Structure 1
Amino acid sequence: MATAPLTVPALTPARQAALIAGGAGLAAAVLILWALGDRTVAACFLATGLLVAGGLVAARHLFPAAARGSGDPDWSVARSLAADLPEAVAVTDRAGRLVCANDRYEALFEGFPTPPALPLGEAGVARIGSAGRAAWRDGRAAADGLISRGTPLAVVVERVGAEDDLLLWRFRAAEQAEQARSVETMLAGAAGDRLAEAGIMAALIAPDGRIRAANRVLRARAMGHEEGAIAGRDLAHFLVTDHRGLVRFEREGTAGNPLRVLQVPLAPNGGEDAALLIALLDEEEAVAHPAIGESASAHVRSLVSLMPFGMALVDRDGRFLQMNDAFARAAQVDAKAPPIYPGDLVIREDKAAVADAIRRFAGGATHSADLAVRLKDHPDEPVALSIAGARGLGDAAVLLSLKDNSEESRLKREVAQATKMQAVGQLAGGVAHDFNNILTAIIGHCDLMLMRHSPGDSDYDDIQQIRANSNRAASLTRQLLAFSRQQTLRPQVLQLPDVISEVSNLLKRLLGETIVLDVRHGRNLGAVRADPGQLEQVVVNLAVNARDAMLTKDPRRGGTLSIHTRGVTASDVRRMASDILPVGDYVALEISDTGTGIPPDVLPKIFEPFFTTKEFGKGTGLGLSTVYGIVKQSGGYIFADSRPGQGATFTIYLPVHAAAAPIAAPAPAPARERPAELWGTGTVVLVEDEDMVRAVAERALARQGYTVLTAENGEAALELLERCERPDLLISDVVMPLMDGPTMVRHARRRYPDLPILFMSGYAEEQLRKSIDLDNVAFLPKPFSVQQLAEAARDVLAPK
């Protein structure tokens, strides 16, 4: 029969203390009895130990709650309270665990990550980590300059809890802090002195009631001298209220003038830096509930006009009373002749919402609201209109605030346009690559068919027509590559006037008799580094577009095409204050006409590929996109300016070439002698993933006498090289699946270090230069003809 194990009840801390006290008393009694032999003294020690032990046991029974502790707190209550806060709030304990956070914290960080491990970047995590350590040490710390998903943030960390064992993290938008700092700077500077001269006592008050900044007249009235250190002190300590509710300065007593206190919230939604701008005005009549007088009303209007952010006052009937310059700039209206109603600023669909909100706040609503409205001049860009009720401001009943985000909107449009152009450029480059493969097969098969037909055959002319159209399509792909900045350039150090001189005779024939060509060059022009042929294409494309615009405006009189060059120094660029053009020395090329001009809605789209305003079938839409690609690939910048009916001006800025190299006029490349014989011998390994290209290249090389071994990818080519003898030439595509051409060549070179290589690709050589940076390598761009392939193979195999 099994027996239950013997269990000994665990000793609680109180019982352990009681046993220790009793044992100590017994031990002391035995020692006294042994040392002195006095039983009375020993009994006293024993009784003291028993008394202490009994006291501990009694305390355990009399105060059970204190002995057990209070248990873990209920964080659900704290989370419910934090849910109504406008800030993102979280609480962590000593162990760094997240114990509480509100819904705004979850929305801001897409979950409940534990501070400081938040999605703020390495610098942001380090910054708030330092703030957390400082808060444990000092009780409070703050950090700003944080970015979460593009939103600027600031955080305030405080040590809280009954035992100071928790950290409270409060995150809020940094814009409120920037506004508060702007007002703080204003009060401390000349604007604060202007308020003082107008009799307005102004102070910036933190949410805890402490003064962050005050102008000199308030410091003088509150402290008796202007140099007093008032920052950080509680504003309420300087004010007193009498039995009638009138507010005065405490140091002036009841003999001082009563004051009217005006509060202007800088951030309606609150937050750590949701500071208040307090204006104190002397009352002219000391009544219990005085109405604001004309003098005080003028002070308020002066205060509104000095605000660094957009503010406007609206009366109870919904009419504008005043708007400051910042509000007028944001709304894009004339502050001296503003519209009558706020609804006149927005589009028709938003008028009712604005009028209803103003009516509600004029009727007594005390909170504030933000409306997303669309201005009439910019209906595609919503802006935030803040509305709050106003009290004590005379006829004003509603306070409006509008942020001037025109510059931000402009930058967003430019970034969106640049991103779109980059994406379209990548798409155009990919399309050109695939199309070049198709054209290689078409042109190659045409060449093979022409070898079997002689001039005069019934099919010869048809094949020639197919080949001519294929070459025309190949020129379109080159334009796509030019737009996507992926074409192969041959840059030279040259002077722009030389390029213009080379192309002038061609321009005169293209423009016709009715258009006057005006060419002028500036002095002391620097040299530029660019492809002269591509620059000529830029000038021709812009000139042809200008000719069409001028003939459309007046076919009989034509117009004037002006081509001017001038130098632009770094100081000139600084004065231009352009966000796009970096500071430096440039040579500017201006091409302007007297044509119809470019409509404002068309101007942002002119450099997009396939966009044209010409009639159907009369334009490919690649002319200006090609110009854009050539200029950007040459390291330059191009801008278009136009007024409808007054012509257009294209300005190209090319950086001055810094290298001190001799400059020569671009000379035409020497004509290459056509080889009399392209016949070759030897083994060629051909690697191409496109079946149609591989087939035509194999037939072309075999017709020239080569023994051709083919592979469809890099791995198959390496296996082929393992089985066969050393080839005389390796021809490979660059971009292939599984293993690209350069990687395959590097493996092959380990076995045959001096193996000649001929790369071919539908992408430009410049784009692939980093990946094909190998010795003894030649490049053949697609599309190519049978003769071009044979010539390239012969040149690579020719003895050096």
Structure 2
Amino acid sequence: MKSENVRAEVQHLKSEMAALEELLRVYEQSAVDQSGRVEAAMAQVREHAEALRAIVLGTATVSGVDFFRSLVAHLATVLQTRYAFIGVLHETDPGRVRTLAVWAGNAFADNFEYDLRGTPCANVVDKTLCVYERGVQRQFPEDALLARLRAESYGGVPLTGRDGRPLGLLVVLHDQPLRNGERVRQMLTIFGARAAVELERNRALEELRRSEARYRALVENTYDLICEVSSDARFRYVSPNYLDVLGYTSRDLVGRNIFELVHPQDLAAVLAEFQKDKGTATFRYLHKNGEWRWIEGTGKWFLAANGERMAVVISRCITARKRAEEALRLSEERYRTLVEQASDGIFVSDSSGRYLDVNSRGCEMLGYTREELLHLTVRDLIPADDLVSDPLRLEAVSSVQVEIKRRRLRRKDGSLMYTEFSAKRLPDGRIQAIVRDISDRLRLEEQVREAAKMEAVGRLAGGVAHDFNNLLTVINGHSELLRRQMGPQDPLRRHAEEIRKAGERAATLTQQLLTFSRRQAVEPRIVDLNAVVTESTRMLRRLLGEDILLTTRLATSPALIMADVGQLEQVIVNLAVNAREAMPHGGTLAIESITHVSENSGPVAHLVVRDNGPGMDRDTSARIFEPFFTTKEVGKGPGLGLAMVYGIVTQCGGTITVDSVPGEGTTFTIELPMATAGQLGTAPPADQRLRGTRGETILLVEDEPIVRRFVREALTGLGYQVLEAANGPDALQRAAAYAGPIHLLLTDVVMPGMSGRQLAEQVGASRPDLRVLFMSGHSDEAILRHGIKESGQGFLQKPFAPDALARKVRELLDAGTRRSGMA
């Protein structure tokens, strides 16, 4: 086959040579008619013909890689270019070319891959012959290959298959202008076609090799017994499983007559089937150990490549089936068990869609009994509006092509189930569908999308939180100090109160932004969900009003979880307030805590908040946790309440789902992991009562002047001695110059030049009894990045009130904890 192709290609090239010789004759005749140009024209034509002849002779007797290498070498030599290469489009990225042969200077070079974007090769691949006789680098300044080769000129021709599909390209490059651009075009056109043929031939050979390898792998690894038999009934090939089942070696069987091992009583039937073009027989065959094995085989005759008549026989050992019908019954039962235990629903219907059979999982998914389903059709389970938008076309179900599609199905209880299914027409015309419930998967995908949106908004929130919190620390702190200095009857006191309230609202909004984006600095500890629900309901009874009936139901055992108490209370309050606003004319609100062991998550606690309000439609429920999404009137709220709830729950490692039907109320279900044994063993001790100040010295480090002034005034007002510093280096100098004891370092976390933790390490090296209190307006992410939570030191989140600052400072000074755990 290979030699015939080569001969055909050589004949094709000879035809082209004949055409060129005719062209030569015409050129010669034309040259005679032009006085003074005869010799030049004939020399040019002869040179062209000689060049073509050199390339033809250099490539006519080779193929494959050798052909490509010979082609680029001869092409570069004849066209007097420094470089030539042939490349094919990358298998997975059509924007790249992989070279098969490269000629550089006077030798072959290593193959490489080449990005087509911004190169002349991109134009070539678009089925255009391109020749740039000079200045190619100026036209393609982004082409790194042209620059590396210092190319001045370029010529390329696309290589296309017979179907017009682009395969690759043939390129020549030179570091000087091309001498004869028309000659380059002609040569590239002629040998581009030849190279394309060779590329297609190589691809066909490669596909043949792959096909043979697949066939060999299939035969070598199949459980069937496969052999090839000659026309005189002798084994030519025996598969490994054939040998394993019958106990022979290949040497035992190859060349042996196949009928020698057939049971005498079955020989006549086998001989009769052997004479047919395609025969099937069931017979006994002799095992090497002397036992008879039942074999069921099918053989078919075919002509081999050399013209010999051969048969391929595919057999199966059915000894077990023949020994006992009971084994067959058990096998059928095993198959039925497999179908019944499948995790997907398996349905069989007739061509009109009426169900004929269904497995247990299918019944379980839809809530019907098998008998009930057999009285229904496929259309009975599909919502009417879905049938309008996506009509059911059972007649289009194929017996060959199986597509995976999605549909909603209505369960017996009326609820909708999202499914993914594949349907196939069976040989008898029935339709078999395999149905998978993907409702949970779609919910998870939606949660991932929601998390991505919250992550984006959270990055924005975390970025501005620091500046907001610094400003709010000053606003809230000074308004509180100002309010304390005013008497109850001072006419300006109400202005200070309004400033403080506005600052607190701004601080709450900032914390909500950080909370739903999971960037708020929190202090999780072991808490009993039952206790949090009990404590929250005391406040909720006053908050909800008398027209809302509030009921609670607590888990029978402690629901110990790891969470921030303040955040958990925010979740309950937000959900309760959301329910109250949905029931302006009164209603019932139930809060319930449940503990159980989840199959997937282990021990978990559930917090369920249920109301009997108007409920929500599906579109509203799908967006309920989006930040800034609200159904309230403009000015009634920023739409962060439920987004904050989502953020808190996610930050605690839990999940939240909403179940709502218009007219039937809404239920929020929060699942939180129960505290582990290790967490229970590290629960912090209860807070100690704080004592008054004793004139201790505090080193205050804060790079924001207005915050530093406020904190200094608050601390000096409490009776502390304060050393001020604007940054880390300044603080080191103040600490070194101060001879007395420094009892507490109060420092910002993120500062230019030196972080708060780095400062604490350096100051603490010379003052081992130093207590450290970090403060920051940054998000929890920044605090974690600077290692504050792992340091074991105190932390105060901005904005903070003077009282909170006083309590935290006093707590650390009284606790007397030494610096520890700092790297």
TM-score (norm 1): 0.49
